[in-house]
Each structure stands twice: as structure tokens, then as C-alpha cells.
């Protein structure tokens, strides 16, 4: 059975698709990996020809998750809550919820986390975590935001990903691992390693 990592947040613009793509690329040399965009618009699927070394599957494949023969499947989800998310979470091993470090971004995360907790009640093996993403280098992270996230009942990961041009452009430049931005590479690699440690326990 494949391990399934699902990225979700009802709010758009938090960098889910970029994280999903680069996380899948982090794992592909050690594992057989597939990346699925469950949004029927399929923005990630349209990158299929640009990343021939990675199996990017059509959104329709989401209904065949249990039959797919991979070590790891990374699933990106639409920027809204849908009835399918509960089923998808129930089949997942880990749900990663990216958020920006602003107060209103954190407040918007609550409904996604509520759905995660509902799914955890049905699947007690399901783990989840929040990652601070697209952090503005100069503004940093306020203690208030970290404190607020710590009250929401879902762990905040140690890894943090900053807002970098190299990362934003990575879907057009063969992925962040092939860039020269060492800091961005370290941040994505650290996130991948932390998730692996969590789902391996």
C-alpha cells in the first residue's frame, strides 16, 4: 500500500501546489512516487511534459488511490472545501496544511483543521501538521501567530518555507532541487525529512 500525503487548505494562494510538486520531486530518487492534482482543473497535470521523471497523474486517478502501485502518492487539493476531502483524508497517512504567517491566514485554517479532525476520528492512524509557508523574509513570524497556531489542535512543524522567487518559479524551472538557491533547497528538504519521520513512526 502506498503512503499518501495530502496537501489541503480551503484558502487559495498559500502555495499548496508548489509544495506538492517539490515534495514529490524530493522523494522520487528514493521511492516510486506519483503526484495527483485532485482539482478537476488539473493545473499540476498540465505540467506533466515538463517533468518526465515524475509520474504526474490525471485528477480522475484520485478515485483509484487504493489500486495505484507506488511507494508514495502526493495529492494536491482544490482551494476550497469539498465533500471529497473527507474521503481523501480518510485514505491518507498524512495531511499537510500550509499557511502563510498572517493573522487572517491562520484564522482561515480552522475549517480545514476541523475537517482533518473529523477524518482522524474515523481513521486514527491519520496524522496531520501545519507548515508555515511563503514567509516574508523581512517580516518574519510573530510570536502571536505561532501562539495562535499552537492552540488549534494540529501540530506546527519545525520546518518553515520562506517566500522566494526561486520557489515560486520552480514549476517552470524543473523544480527547486535543480536550482542554485541553497536556502530554498534546504527548506524543502527539511520539510520532506520531517514528514517522513512523522509517517514512519
CATH number, domain containing residue 27: 3.40.50.300
Instruction: State residue 141's pLDDT score.
Output: 67
Q: Give burial (CB, 10 Å; 0-12/13-18/19+) of 49.
A: exposed
Instruction: State residue 12's pLDDT score.
Output: 84
51 Rama sector, left if φ>0, alpha if ψ -120 to 50, beta otherwise: beta
What domain range includes position 105?
3-200
Instruction: State residue 30's pLDDT score.
Output: 93
Structurally, how many domains does the chain consist of?
1
With contact defined as beta carbons under 8 Å apart, do 65 and 98 qualify? no
**Grid cell locating 94:** 498524512
CA gap 162, 171 in Å, rounded: 16
Cell numbers 527539511: residue: 190
Instruction: State residue 106's pLDDT score.
Output: 84
**Tens of pLDDT along the chain (201 residues)?**
899 999 999 888 899 999 999 999 999 999 999 999 887 766 888 899 999 999 999 888 988 988 999 999 999 998 876 778 888 998 899 999 999 988 888 888 999 999 999 999 998 899 999 999 999 877 666 778 888 898 999 999 999 999 999 999 999 999 999 999 999 999 999 999 999 999 986
Instruction: State residue 104's pLDDT score.
Output: 84
Amino acid at each position: 500500500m502506498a503512503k499518501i500525503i495530502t496537501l489541503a487548505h480551503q484558502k487559495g494562494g498559500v502555495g499548496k501546489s508548489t509544495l506538492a510538486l517539490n515534495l514529490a520531486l524530493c522523494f522520487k530518487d528514493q521511492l516510486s512516487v506519483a503526484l495527483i492534482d485532485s482539482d478537476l482543473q488539473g493545473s499540476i497535470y498540465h505540467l506533466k511534459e515538463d517533468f518526465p521523471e515524475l509520474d504526474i497523474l490525471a485528477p480522475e486517478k484520485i478515485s483509484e488511490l487504493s489500486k495505484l502501485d507506488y511507494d508514495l502518492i502526493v495529492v494536491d487539493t482544490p482551494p476550497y472545501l469539498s465533500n471529497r476531502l473527507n474521503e481523501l483524508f480518510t485514505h491518507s497517512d498524512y495531511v499537510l496544511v500550509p499557511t502563510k504567517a498572517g493573522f487572517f491566514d491562520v484564522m482561515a485554517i480552522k475549517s480545514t483543521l476541523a475537517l482533518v479532525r473529523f477524518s482522524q476520528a474515523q481513521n486514527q492512524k491519520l496524522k496531520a501538521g501545519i507548515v508555515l509557508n511563503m514567509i516574508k523574509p523581512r517580516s518574519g513570524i510573530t510570536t502571536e501567530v505561532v501562539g495562535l497556531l499552537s492552540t488549534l489542535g494540529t501540530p506546527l512543524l519545525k520546518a518553515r518555507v520562506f517566500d522566494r522567487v526561486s520557489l515560486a518559479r520552480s514549476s517552470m524551472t524543473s523544480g527547486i532541487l535543480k536550482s542554485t538557491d541553497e536556502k530554498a533547497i534546504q527548506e524543502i528538504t527539511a520539510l520532506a525529512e520531517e514528514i517522513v519521520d512523522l509517517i514512519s513512526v
